[in-house]
Amino acid sequence: MKLPRRFFQPLAIGAPAPLRTLPVRLERMIHFVPPHVEKMRSKVPELAKQVDVVLGNLEDAIPIDAKLDARRGFIEMAKATDFGSTGLWIRMNALNSPWALDDLVEIVGAVGDKLDVVMVPKVEGSWDIHYVDQLLAQLEAKAHARKPILIHAILETAEGVKNVEEIAQASPRMHGMSLGPADLAASRGMKTTRVGGGHPDYKVLSDAGSGPRAAAQQDLWHYTVARMVDACMANGIKAFYGPFGDFSDAEACEAQFRNAFLMGCAGAWTLHPTQIAIARRVFSPDPAEVAFARKIIAAMPDGAGAVMIDGKMQDDATWKQAKVLVDLADLVEAKDGAAAS
Ligand code: GLV
Ligand code: MG
């Protein structure tokens, strides 16, 4: 483990200094775009006004014979679009694939200053982050980049989950992590073909008695989301739910996103345009909750002591809970308010 004072030194001569705190940004939905499809690229300027993050997907779901076109298409769309306050990310190919190196070399070389975050798939341990960290520093130095590109890990292997804490603290470039339920299910030997969400057979039965037994479906992802949120928040980085594959079931998508939001996640991936509104609704705090949170803050200006509001006890800890909601509401207001005006 490096000494703290060395942890924040650039990893290449001429690379920008690593950030000490994450930029405060609203990232309710990370919207996936397949950049090899011209029709999809042409929608990006409009899309950038509607979502918090546009991500050019280079990895899974991009056909092997379209990998180079996807990379080229991403560079073209990054150059052609003014993203304003909307984030621009890529999901690079896996580190053991034939495309990973050139994804970073070509994209950072061409549009490094526009790129905010590199999402790295199938991260197994801190060694994967260290490799990308060093390579990004070299490429940033070569491109005379002004700001460091951040790293976002996908938590989607059993080994990655085992090493989740060391991944979260591997580098000052760490932006956060997303749960990848499809790869994770395969890696763990889970018996499901679904991408996220529940499974009707994963349930608890009430005790046998006289009448029919009630069954309640359980959340397959609860354990992993909880571990991810704790690892991320303990290190000042952000946790995200990943993909929800059944585009025809908006209700289940909303329920999965909402569980993640309540557990501490900042956002989720949106793979289909209909999921954008769901993510916006779920990852923006409920106005009634925000109004109550503002009452708590107003009643305890210095954040200490105890007061009763509407029959409920408030103290230093509930003041902090209220602050989480109010800070998020202010960010949402700034972004959505500016978009509406
Ligand atoms: C996402 O990449 C997943 O595997 O679920
Ligand atoms: Mg995956």
Would you say the CB of residue 243 lies under 6 angstroms from ligand 1? yes
| Closest ligand 1 atom to Cα of 184 | 4
Range 20-23, long-range pairs (CB < 8 A, 24+ positions): 20/172, 21/236, 22/150, 22/175, 22/236, 22/237, 22/238
| Closest ligand 1 atom to Cα of 195 | 5
Averaged in consecutive runs of 10 residues, what is the pLDDT profile of the chain (341 residues)? 89 97 96 98 97 98 98 98 97 98 98 98 98 98 97 98 98 98 98 94 94 94 98 98 97 98 98 98 96 96 94 96 96 85 63
* Residue-level pLDDT at 341: 63
DSSP state letter for 247: T
CB 322 within 8 A of CB 296: yes
Cα(181) to centroid(ligand 1), Å: 5
* Residue-level pLDDT at 338: 74
d(CA 1, CA 24): 27
Distances (CA, A) of 113 to 49, 146, 310: 20, 7, 50
Identify the CA nearest to 119 among candidates 93, 139, 96, 143: 93
Residue in 57, 62, 195 to alter for ligand 1 test, most ligand atoms within 8 A of Cβ: 195
Cross-strand bridge partners of residue 155:
179
* Residue-level pLDDT at 4: 86
What residue owns the CA closest to ligand 1's atom 2? 180
CB 57 within 8 A of CB 70: yes
Residue in 90, 124, 154 to alter for ligand 1 test, most ligand atoms within 8 A of Cβ: 154
Would you say the CB of residue 55 lies under 6 angstroms from ligand 1? no
| Closest ligand 1 atom to Cα of 60 | 2
Residues in the chain: 341
- Count how many Cα atoms sit within 13 Å of the Cα of residue 46 in the half-sphere of its side chain: 6
Cα(182) to centroid(ligand 1), Å: 5
Can you list the alpha helix ranges (DSSP code H) found in the chain?
4-7, 38-42, 44-50, 67-80, 100-111, 126-143, 158-162, 164-168, 181-188, 222-234, 250-263, 274-283, 287-299, 316-340
- Secondary structure class of 315 (helix, strand, coil): strand
Would you say the CB of residue 128 lies under 6 angstroms from ligand 1? no
Provide the token pair at 208: 């046998």
Which residues 6+ apart lie within 8 Å of 91 measured at CB? 32, 55, 56, 57, 58, 59, 119, 121, 154
Cα(322) to centroid(ligand 1), Å: 33
Please count the other Cβ atoms lying within 10 Å of the Cβ belonging to residue 85.
12
Would you say the CB of residue 198 lies under 6 angstroms from ligand 1? no
* Residue-level pLDDT at 236: 97
Would you say the CB of residue 160 lies under 6 angstroms from ligand 1? no
CB 31 within 8 A of CB 7: no
What DSSP assignment string belongs to 265-295? --EEEE-STHHHHHHHHHHSPPHHHHHHHHH
pTM of the model: 0.96
Provide the token pair at 42: 């042409």
* Residue-level pLDDT at 217: 94
* Residue-level pLDDT at 282: 98
pLDDT digits (tens, 9 = 90+) for 207-217: 999 899 999 99
Which residues 6+ apart lie within 8 Å of 216 measured at CB? 203, 204
